[in-house]
Amino acid sequence: MLLSNRINAIEESATLAMAAKAREFKNKGVDVISLSLGEPDFKTPAHICEAAKKAIDDGKYFAYPPVPGYQDLREAIAVKYQKENNVPYKAENIVVSNGAKQSIANVMLAILNPGDEVIIFAPFWVSYDALVRLTEATPVLVKGTLENDFKVTAAQVEQAITSKTKAIIFSSPCNPTGSVFSKKELEAISQVVLKHPNLLVIADEIYEHINFVGDQTSMASLPGMFDRTITVNGFAKGFAMTGWRVGYIAAPKWIADGSNKVQGQITSANCSISQRGALAAITGDLAPTKKMVEEYHKRREIVYNLLKEIPGVKANYPQGAFYFFPDVSSYYGKTDGATTIKNGDDFCLWMLEKGHVSLVPGGAFGDERCVRLSYAASEKDLREALRRMKETLATLK
Ligand code: GLU
Protein backbone atom coordinates (compact mmCIF):
# COMPACT_ATOMS: atom_id res chain seq x y z
CA MET A 1 0.00 0.00 0.00
CA LEU A 2 2.84 2.35 0.78
CA LEU A 3 4.82 1.59 -2.34
CA SER A 4 5.60 4.49 -4.63
CA ASN A 5 3.60 5.18 -7.78
CA ARG A 6 6.78 4.52 -9.75
CA ILE A 7 7.06 0.98 -8.41
CA ASN A 8 3.35 0.35 -8.77
CA ALA A 9 3.63 1.37 -12.43
CA ILE A 10 6.02 -1.44 -13.34
CA GLU A 11 5.86 -5.21 -13.48
CA GLU A 12 8.34 -7.68 -12.08
CA SER A 13 10.94 -8.64 -14.75
CA ALA A 14 9.13 -11.35 -16.77
CA THR A 15 12.36 -13.13 -17.73
CA LEU A 16 13.46 -13.44 -14.12
CA ALA A 17 9.95 -14.28 -12.93
CA MET A 18 9.64 -17.20 -15.39
CA ALA A 19 13.12 -18.41 -14.47
CA ALA A 20 12.10 -18.39 -10.80
CA LYS A 21 8.90 -20.32 -11.59
CA ALA A 22 10.90 -22.93 -13.52
CA ARG A 23 13.24 -23.24 -10.52
CA GLU A 24 10.23 -23.75 -8.21
CA PHE A 25 9.08 -26.67 -10.36
CA LYS A 26 12.60 -28.12 -10.46
CA ASN A 27 12.86 -27.88 -6.67
CA LYS A 28 9.67 -29.95 -6.45
CA GLY A 29 11.42 -32.64 -8.47
CA VAL A 30 9.79 -31.87 -11.84
CA ASP A 31 12.12 -32.39 -14.80
CA VAL A 32 11.73 -28.92 -16.30
CA ILE A 33 13.69 -27.76 -19.34
CA SER A 34 14.21 -24.08 -18.79
CA LEU A 35 14.37 -22.01 -21.96
CA SER A 36 13.17 -18.87 -20.25
CA LEU A 37 16.29 -17.08 -19.07
CA GLY A 38 18.65 -15.72 -21.70
CA GLU A 39 21.84 -17.04 -20.21
CA PRO A 40 24.74 -18.85 -21.90
CA ASP A 41 24.93 -22.49 -20.82
CA PHE A 42 28.72 -22.32 -21.12
CA LYS A 43 31.21 -21.62 -18.36
CA THR A 44 33.24 -18.41 -18.31
CA PRO A 45 36.47 -19.05 -20.32
CA ALA A 46 39.42 -20.14 -18.15
CA HIS A 47 41.72 -17.17 -18.86
CA ILE A 48 39.05 -14.79 -17.50
CA CYS A 49 38.61 -16.84 -14.32
CA GLU A 50 42.39 -16.99 -13.87
CA ALA A 51 42.66 -13.20 -14.13
CA ALA A 52 40.02 -12.78 -11.43
CA LYS A 53 41.71 -15.32 -9.15
CA LYS A 54 45.02 -13.54 -9.61
CA ALA A 55 43.35 -10.22 -8.76
CA ILE A 56 42.19 -11.66 -5.44
CA ASP A 57 45.63 -13.09 -4.67
CA ASP A 58 47.40 -9.87 -5.65
CA GLY A 59 45.67 -8.20 -2.72
CA LYS A 60 45.43 -4.93 -4.63
CA TYR A 61 41.78 -5.00 -5.55
CA PHE A 62 40.05 -5.00 -2.18
CA ALA A 63 39.07 -1.32 -2.11
CA TYR A 64 36.39 0.75 -3.86
CA PRO A 65 37.24 1.02 -7.55
CA PRO A 66 36.85 4.43 -9.26
CA VAL A 67 33.13 5.10 -9.85
CA PRO A 68 33.19 4.72 -13.68
CA GLY A 69 35.52 1.69 -13.57
CA TYR A 70 39.27 1.08 -13.56
CA GLN A 71 41.12 3.30 -16.00
CA ASP A 72 42.81 0.38 -17.80
CA LEU A 73 39.47 -1.36 -18.37
CA ARG A 74 37.85 1.83 -19.68
CA GLU A 75 40.82 2.37 -21.99
CA ALA A 76 40.62 -1.22 -23.24
CA ILE A 77 36.90 -0.81 -23.97
CA ALA A 78 37.61 2.44 -25.85
CA VAL A 79 40.34 0.74 -27.91
CA LYS A 80 38.00 -2.16 -28.73
CA TYR A 81 35.42 0.32 -30.04
CA GLN A 82 38.07 2.20 -32.07
CA LYS A 83 39.41 -0.99 -33.64
CA GLU A 84 36.37 -3.24 -34.01
CA ASN A 85 33.44 -0.84 -34.27
CA ASN A 86 35.00 2.19 -35.89
CA VAL A 87 33.90 4.58 -33.11
CA PRO A 88 36.55 6.95 -31.67
CA TYR A 89 35.61 6.52 -27.99
CA LYS A 90 38.14 7.44 -25.29
CA ALA A 91 38.23 6.27 -21.67
CA GLU A 92 36.33 9.43 -20.65
CA ASN A 93 33.32 8.15 -22.66
CA ILE A 94 33.08 4.83 -20.80
CA VAL A 95 31.20 3.99 -17.58
CA VAL A 96 31.39 0.41 -16.32
CA SER A 97 28.38 -0.77 -14.29
CA ASN A 98 26.71 -3.79 -12.69
CA GLY A 99 25.50 -5.31 -15.93
CA ALA A 100 24.12 -3.63 -19.04
CA LYS A 101 20.83 -3.37 -17.16
CA GLN A 102 22.31 -0.91 -14.68
CA SER A 103 24.03 0.88 -17.55
CA ILE A 104 20.64 1.49 -19.17
CA ALA A 105 19.07 2.51 -15.85
CA ASN A 106 21.90 5.01 -15.22
CA VAL A 107 21.45 6.54 -18.65
CA MET A 108 17.69 6.83 -18.31
CA LEU A 109 18.00 8.49 -14.91
CA ALA A 110 20.65 10.79 -16.35
CA ILE A 111 18.75 11.97 -19.45
CA LEU A 112 14.99 11.61 -18.89
CA ASN A 113 12.54 13.98 -17.24
CA PRO A 114 8.96 13.08 -16.31
CA GLY A 115 6.79 13.47 -19.40
CA ASP A 116 9.59 12.86 -21.92
CA GLU A 117 8.79 10.22 -24.51
CA VAL A 118 11.08 7.31 -25.37
CA ILE A 119 10.48 5.38 -28.57
CA ILE A 120 11.01 1.69 -27.92
CA PHE A 121 11.29 -0.61 -30.91
CA ALA A 122 8.94 -3.51 -30.24
CA PRO A 123 9.33 -6.39 -29.66
CA PHE A 124 11.76 -5.13 -27.01
CA TRP A 125 13.75 -6.47 -24.12
CA VAL A 126 11.48 -6.48 -21.05
CA SER A 127 13.37 -3.97 -18.92
CA TYR A 128 13.42 -1.07 -21.43
CA ASP A 129 9.78 -0.30 -20.84
CA ALA A 130 10.01 -0.67 -17.04
CA LEU A 131 13.11 1.50 -16.76
CA VAL A 132 11.49 4.28 -18.81
CA ARG A 133 8.47 4.16 -16.50
CA LEU A 134 10.68 4.28 -13.41
CA THR A 135 11.92 7.69 -14.55
CA GLU A 136 8.29 8.78 -15.07
CA ALA A 137 8.92 9.24 -18.77
CA THR A 138 6.50 7.68 -21.27
CA PRO A 139 7.32 4.62 -23.38
CA VAL A 140 6.08 4.87 -26.98
CA LEU A 141 6.06 1.47 -28.63
CA VAL A 142 6.73 1.27 -32.35
CA LYS A 143 6.10 -2.23 -33.63
CA GLY A 144 8.04 -4.23 -36.17
CA THR A 145 6.16 -6.93 -38.04
CA LEU A 146 7.06 -10.60 -38.39
CA GLU A 147 6.97 -10.10 -42.19
CA ASN A 148 9.77 -7.49 -41.85
CA ASP A 149 11.76 -9.73 -39.50
CA PHE A 150 10.26 -7.66 -36.63
CA LYS A 151 12.39 -4.68 -37.66
CA VAL A 152 11.06 -1.15 -37.23
CA THR A 153 11.62 1.07 -40.29
CA ALA A 154 12.94 4.64 -40.49
CA ALA A 155 9.52 5.76 -41.75
CA GLN A 156 7.84 4.32 -38.66
CA VAL A 157 10.34 6.13 -36.42
CA GLU A 158 9.71 9.39 -38.23
CA GLN A 159 5.98 9.06 -37.68
CA ALA A 160 6.35 8.35 -33.96
CA ILE A 161 8.56 11.36 -33.13
CA THR A 162 6.84 14.23 -31.30
CA SER A 163 8.17 17.38 -29.63
CA LYS A 164 8.47 15.32 -26.42
CA THR A 165 10.61 12.52 -27.85
CA LYS A 166 13.94 12.45 -26.03
CA ALA A 167 15.36 9.08 -27.02
CA ILE A 168 15.01 5.92 -29.07
CA ILE A 169 16.06 2.54 -27.71
CA PHE A 170 16.56 -0.81 -29.44
CA SER A 171 18.87 -3.81 -29.40
CA SER A 172 20.66 -5.28 -32.42
CA PRO A 173 21.05 -8.26 -32.49
CA CYS A 174 17.66 -8.09 -30.88
CA ASN A 175 16.45 -9.70 -27.69
CA PRO A 176 13.84 -11.27 -28.17
CA THR A 177 13.63 -11.59 -32.00
CA GLY A 178 17.26 -12.18 -33.03
CA SER A 179 16.91 -9.57 -35.79
CA VAL A 180 19.99 -7.61 -36.85
CA PHE A 181 19.70 -4.12 -38.31
CA SER A 182 21.85 -3.78 -41.43
CA LYS A 183 24.10 -0.76 -41.92
CA LYS A 184 21.67 0.55 -44.52
CA GLU A 185 18.70 0.27 -42.16
CA LEU A 186 20.59 2.02 -39.36
CA GLU A 187 21.70 4.76 -41.75
CA ALA A 188 18.09 5.40 -42.70
CA ILE A 189 17.11 5.65 -39.02
CA SER A 190 20.09 7.94 -38.30
CA GLN A 191 18.93 10.29 -41.08
CA VAL A 192 15.60 10.67 -39.28
CA VAL A 193 17.29 11.19 -35.89
CA LEU A 194 19.61 13.87 -37.27
CA LYS A 195 16.63 15.98 -38.30
CA HIS A 196 15.86 16.44 -34.58
CA PRO A 197 18.68 18.18 -32.70
CA ASN A 198 17.66 16.99 -29.20
CA LEU A 199 17.01 13.35 -29.98
CA LEU A 200 19.30 10.61 -28.60
CA VAL A 201 19.67 6.94 -29.50
CA ILE A 202 20.35 4.20 -26.95
CA ALA A 203 21.86 1.40 -29.02
CA ASP A 204 22.07 -1.85 -27.08
CA GLU A 205 24.84 -4.02 -28.58
CA ILE A 206 25.06 -6.63 -25.81
CA TYR A 207 24.67 -9.45 -28.38
CA GLU A 208 27.20 -8.06 -30.88
CA HIS A 209 29.37 -11.18 -30.81
CA ILE A 210 26.41 -13.49 -31.37
CA ASN A 211 25.72 -12.36 -34.91
CA PHE A 212 25.45 -14.96 -37.68
CA VAL A 213 25.33 -12.52 -40.60
CA GLY A 214 28.29 -10.29 -39.74
CA ASP A 215 26.71 -6.95 -40.67
CA GLN A 216 27.27 -5.57 -37.14
CA THR A 217 27.18 -1.79 -37.35
CA SER A 218 27.40 0.51 -34.35
CA MET A 219 24.95 3.39 -34.58
CA ALA A 220 27.66 5.65 -33.08
CA SER A 221 29.95 4.93 -36.06
CA LEU A 222 27.56 6.52 -38.57
CA PRO A 223 28.11 10.13 -39.72
CA GLY A 224 26.83 12.64 -37.16
CA MET A 225 25.78 9.96 -34.67
CA PHE A 226 28.73 9.94 -32.24
CA ASP A 227 27.25 12.88 -30.30
CA ARG A 228 23.75 11.42 -30.37
CA THR A 229 24.34 7.81 -29.39
CA ILE A 230 24.69 5.97 -26.12
CA THR A 231 26.15 2.57 -26.89
CA VAL A 232 25.33 -0.15 -24.37
CA ASN A 233 27.34 -3.32 -24.11
CA GLY A 234 28.63 -5.83 -21.57
CA PHE A 235 30.40 -9.10 -20.95
CA ALA A 236 27.51 -11.39 -19.95
CA LYS A 237 26.53 -12.76 -23.34
CA GLY A 238 29.70 -12.82 -25.46
CA PHE A 239 31.93 -14.13 -22.67
CA ALA A 240 29.44 -16.21 -20.65
CA MET A 241 29.78 -13.91 -17.64
CA THR A 242 26.17 -13.26 -16.60
CA GLY A 243 26.84 -13.63 -12.88
CA TRP A 244 29.90 -11.37 -12.92
CA ARG A 245 27.63 -8.40 -13.67
CA VAL A 246 29.79 -6.23 -15.89
CA GLY A 247 28.14 -3.93 -18.42
CA TYR A 248 29.11 -0.56 -19.75
CA ILE A 249 28.08 2.45 -21.75
CA ALA A 250 30.13 4.35 -24.28
CA ALA A 251 28.62 7.80 -24.73
CA PRO A 252 29.30 11.49 -25.26
CA LYS A 253 31.20 12.77 -22.21
CA TRP A 254 28.29 14.78 -20.79
CA ILE A 255 26.12 11.66 -20.72
CA ALA A 256 28.94 9.51 -19.32
CA ASP A 257 29.41 12.15 -16.61
CA GLY A 258 25.67 12.14 -15.85
CA SER A 259 25.62 8.33 -15.60
CA ASN A 260 28.68 8.45 -13.42
CA LYS A 261 26.90 10.80 -11.05
CA VAL A 262 23.94 8.40 -10.79
CA GLN A 263 26.23 5.44 -10.25
CA GLY A 264 28.25 7.24 -7.58
CA GLN A 265 25.06 7.72 -5.59
CA ILE A 266 23.59 4.27 -6.18
CA THR A 267 26.30 1.60 -6.25
CA SER A 268 29.64 3.45 -5.96
CA ALA A 269 31.15 1.25 -8.65
CA ASN A 270 31.18 -2.19 -10.24
CA CYS A 271 32.81 -5.09 -8.34
CA SER A 272 36.62 -4.82 -8.45
CA ILE A 273 37.33 -8.50 -9.11
CA SER A 274 34.72 -8.73 -11.88
CA GLN A 275 36.36 -5.78 -13.59
CA ARG A 276 39.73 -7.57 -13.59
CA GLY A 277 38.03 -10.56 -15.23
CA ALA A 278 36.42 -8.23 -17.76
CA LEU A 279 39.79 -6.71 -18.62
CA ALA A 280 41.12 -10.20 -19.42
CA ALA A 281 38.04 -10.84 -21.56
CA ILE A 282 38.29 -7.70 -23.64
CA THR A 283 42.05 -7.82 -24.16
CA GLY A 284 42.22 -11.62 -24.55
CA ASP A 285 41.67 -14.31 -27.11
CA LEU A 286 38.22 -14.35 -28.73
CA ALA A 287 38.54 -18.05 -29.65
CA PRO A 288 36.28 -19.25 -26.77
CA THR A 289 33.65 -16.68 -27.77
CA LYS A 290 33.81 -17.84 -31.40
CA LYS A 291 33.38 -21.44 -30.30
CA MET A 292 30.28 -20.58 -28.30
CA VAL A 293 28.87 -18.66 -31.26
CA GLU A 294 29.42 -21.67 -33.54
CA GLU A 295 27.37 -23.73 -31.11
CA TYR A 296 24.55 -21.14 -31.04
CA HIS A 297 24.63 -21.10 -34.83
CA LYS A 298 24.16 -24.87 -34.97
CA ARG A 299 21.35 -24.74 -32.44
CA ARG A 300 19.55 -22.02 -34.35
CA GLU A 301 19.19 -24.43 -37.29
CA ILE A 302 18.01 -27.26 -35.08
CA VAL A 303 15.40 -25.18 -33.27
CA TYR A 304 14.23 -23.47 -36.46
CA ASN A 305 13.61 -26.80 -38.16
CA LEU A 306 11.88 -28.30 -35.13
CA LEU A 307 9.67 -25.23 -34.67
CA LYS A 308 8.58 -25.53 -38.30
CA GLU A 309 7.30 -29.02 -37.52
CA ILE A 310 4.86 -27.72 -34.91
CA PRO A 311 1.53 -26.93 -36.61
CA GLY A 312 0.33 -23.34 -36.23
CA VAL A 313 3.65 -21.90 -34.99
CA LYS A 314 5.19 -19.08 -37.06
CA ALA A 315 8.77 -17.95 -36.49
CA ASN A 316 11.20 -15.55 -38.13
CA TYR A 317 14.73 -16.74 -38.87
CA PRO A 318 16.91 -14.99 -36.27
CA GLN A 319 20.23 -13.56 -37.43
CA GLY A 320 21.80 -13.19 -34.01
CA ALA A 321 21.42 -13.42 -30.21
CA PHE A 322 20.08 -16.79 -28.95
CA TYR A 323 16.33 -16.45 -29.01
CA PHE A 324 13.32 -17.41 -31.05
CA PHE A 325 10.15 -15.37 -30.72
CA PRO A 326 7.51 -17.56 -32.37
CA ASP A 327 3.90 -16.49 -32.87
CA VAL A 328 1.81 -19.12 -31.08
CA SER A 329 -1.47 -17.21 -31.14
CA SER A 330 -3.19 -19.85 -33.29
CA TYR A 331 -3.44 -21.83 -30.02
CA TYR A 332 -5.20 -19.04 -28.14
CA GLY A 333 -8.83 -19.99 -27.50
CA LYS A 334 -8.02 -23.72 -27.58
CA THR A 335 -8.46 -26.08 -24.65
CA ASP A 336 -7.15 -29.40 -23.36
CA GLY A 337 -10.54 -30.06 -21.74
CA ALA A 338 -9.55 -28.57 -18.38
CA THR A 339 -7.63 -25.38 -19.25
CA THR A 340 -8.38 -22.86 -21.97
CA ILE A 341 -5.38 -20.95 -23.34
CA LYS A 342 -6.45 -17.33 -23.62
CA ASN A 343 -3.11 -15.57 -24.09
CA GLY A 344 0.66 -15.86 -23.85
CA ASP A 345 0.67 -15.94 -20.04
CA ASP A 346 -1.73 -18.90 -20.06
CA PHE A 347 0.28 -20.55 -22.82
CA CYS A 348 3.56 -20.37 -20.88
CA LEU A 349 2.07 -21.43 -17.56
CA TRP A 350 0.27 -24.34 -19.20
CA MET A 351 3.41 -25.37 -21.12
CA LEU A 352 5.38 -25.34 -17.87
CA GLU A 353 2.77 -27.39 -16.02
CA LYS A 354 1.91 -29.87 -18.79
CA GLY A 355 4.98 -29.97 -21.03
CA HIS A 356 7.57 -29.06 -18.39
CA VAL A 357 9.16 -26.52 -20.70
CA SER A 358 9.63 -22.98 -19.49
CA LEU A 359 9.26 -20.04 -21.92
CA VAL A 360 8.53 -16.32 -21.43
CA PRO A 361 5.19 -14.77 -22.50
CA GLY A 362 5.58 -12.35 -25.40
CA GLY A 363 3.40 -9.65 -23.84
CA ALA A 364 6.32 -8.65 -21.62
CA PHE A 365 8.32 -7.99 -24.82
CA GLY A 366 5.50 -6.04 -26.47
CA ASP A 367 3.82 -8.77 -28.56
CA GLU A 368 1.03 -10.82 -26.99
CA ARG A 369 0.92 -13.27 -29.89
CA CYS A 370 4.42 -14.59 -29.26
CA VAL A 371 6.50 -16.39 -26.65
CA ARG A 372 10.26 -16.23 -26.19
CA LEU A 373 12.42 -19.31 -26.29
CA SER A 374 16.13 -19.11 -25.43
CA TYR A 375 18.30 -21.65 -27.23
CA ALA A 376 21.26 -21.11 -24.93
CA ALA A 377 20.76 -24.70 -23.83
CA SER A 378 22.28 -28.04 -24.83
CA GLU A 379 21.28 -29.65 -28.12
CA LYS A 380 19.85 -32.59 -26.18
CA ASP A 381 17.66 -30.33 -24.03
CA LEU A 382 16.55 -28.33 -27.05
CA ARG A 383 15.50 -31.42 -29.00
CA GLU A 384 13.63 -32.78 -25.99
CA ALA A 385 11.98 -29.41 -25.25
CA LEU A 386 10.73 -29.05 -28.82
CA ARG A 387 9.49 -32.64 -28.79
CA ARG A 388 7.56 -31.92 -25.58
CA MET A 389 6.13 -28.71 -26.98
CA LYS A 390 4.89 -30.43 -30.12
CA GLU A 391 3.39 -33.32 -28.19
CA THR A 392 1.74 -31.10 -25.56
CA LEU A 393 0.31 -28.67 -28.11
CA ALA A 394 -1.23 -31.58 -30.02
CA THR A 395 -3.55 -32.17 -27.02
CA LEU A 396 -5.24 -28.78 -27.56
CA LYS A 397 -8.55 -28.68 -29.41
N1 GLU B 1 18.88 -10.52 -20.63
C2 GLU B 1 18.53 -11.83 -20.24
C3 GLU B 1 17.15 -12.19 -20.71
O4 GLU B 1 16.54 -11.44 -21.43
C5 GLU B 1 18.71 -12.00 -18.77
C6 GLU B 1 17.55 -11.76 -17.87
C7 GLU B 1 17.21 -10.33 -17.72
O8 GLU B 1 18.02 -9.61 -17.14
O9 GLU B 1 16.14 -9.96 -18.19
O10 GLU B 1 16.70 -13.26 -20.42
Atom 7 (ligand 1) nearest CA: 15
CATH class as words, domain 5-43+288-393: alpha beta
37 alpha carbon to ligand 1 midpoint, in Å? 6
Taking 50 as the pLDDT cut, the residues of the chain under it are: none
Residue closest via CA to ligand 1's atom 4 equals: 38
The pLDDT, as a whole number, for residue 287 is 97
Within a 13 Å sphere around the CA of 190, how many CA atoms are in the beta-carbon half?
21
Q: What confidence score (pLDDT) does residue 147 get?
A: 86
CA–centroid distance, residue 39 to ligand 1 (Å): 7
pLDDT at 235: 98
Phi and psi dihedrals of 348, rounded to 5? -70, -40
Collapse the DSSP code of 1 into the 3-class scheme (helix H, G, I; strand E, B; otherwise coil) and give the result.
coil
For CA atoms 46, 175, 100, 81, give the dihedral sign.
positive
Atom 3 of ligand 1 has which residue's CA nearest to it?
38
**Among 384, 395, 297, CA closest to 339:** 395
> Is the bond leading into 66 cis (omega within 30 degrees of zero)?
no
Pocket perturbation via mutation, ligand 1, pick of 125, 128, 210 by most ligand atoms within 8 A of CB: 125
What pLDDT was estimated at residue 11?
87
User: What are the extents of the domains in the chain?
Assistant: 5-43+288-393, 63-283
15 touches 365 (CB < 8 A): no
CA dist 176 and 253 (Å) reads: 30
User: What pTM was estimated for this model as a whole?
Assistant: 0.96
Centre of ligand 1 from the C-alpha of residue 58, in Å: 33
Query: Could you give the CA distance from residue 235 to residue 353 in angstroms, rounded to a whole number?
Result: 34
How far apart are the C-alpha atoms of 220 and 229, rounded to whole Å?
5
For residue 99, the CA-to-ligand 1 centroid distance in Å is 11
Under CATH, which architecture does the 63-283 domain have?
A: 3-Layer(aba) Sandwich (3.40)
Q: 143 vs 97, 146, 171, 387, CA distance in Å? A: 30, 10, 14, 31
Cis before residue 288, ω within 30 degrees of 0? no
- Protein residues whose CB sits closer than 6 Å to any atom of ligand 1: 13, 15-16, 37-38, 101, 125-127, 175
What pLDDT does 100 receive? 98
Question: Could you tell me which residues come within 8 angstroms of residue 385 by beta carbon, excluding any fewer than 6 positions away?
Answer: 33, 35, 357, 373, 377
Sign of CA dihedral 255, 262, 20, 333: negative
